[in-house]
């Protein structure tokens, strides 16, 4: 139910009404799978839940899933 959007060079997620659910602060984003999305924040990769909570601290150079 969330769509990735880019604003001012940063990525975030909006709901079906167009309201930001997760504010655009990410370098890159990927689709949600199993309730988590891979995102790039300040050059490091992490997993985030649909509420925007980072579930793994940004310390990885890459993540595959």
Q: Rounded CA gap, 41 and 57, in Å? A: 10
Which residue, chain included where needed, has tokens 């300040």? Answer: 42
Model confidence band, residue 65 (pLDDT cutoffs 50, 70, 90)? low
Neighbours of 21 (CB within 10 A): 15
Model confidence band, residue 60 (pLDDT cutoffs 50, 70, 90)? confident
Helix (H, G, I), strand (E, B) or coil at 32: strand
For the stretch 1-55, pLDDT in tens is: 899 999 999 999 999 999 999 999 999 999 999 999 999 999 999 999 999 999 9
Q: Rounded CA gap, 39 and 33, in Å? A: 12
Helix (H, G, I), strand (E, B) or coil at 65: coil
């Amino acid at each position: 139910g969330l769509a990735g959007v880019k604003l001012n060079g940063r990525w975030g997620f909006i709901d079906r009404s167009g309201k930001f659910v997760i504010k655009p602060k990410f370098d890159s984003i990927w689709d949600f799978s199993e309730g988590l999305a891979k995102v790039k924040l300040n050059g490091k990769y992490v997993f985030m839940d649909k509420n925007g909570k980072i579930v793994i601290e940004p310390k990885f150079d890459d993540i595959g899933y």
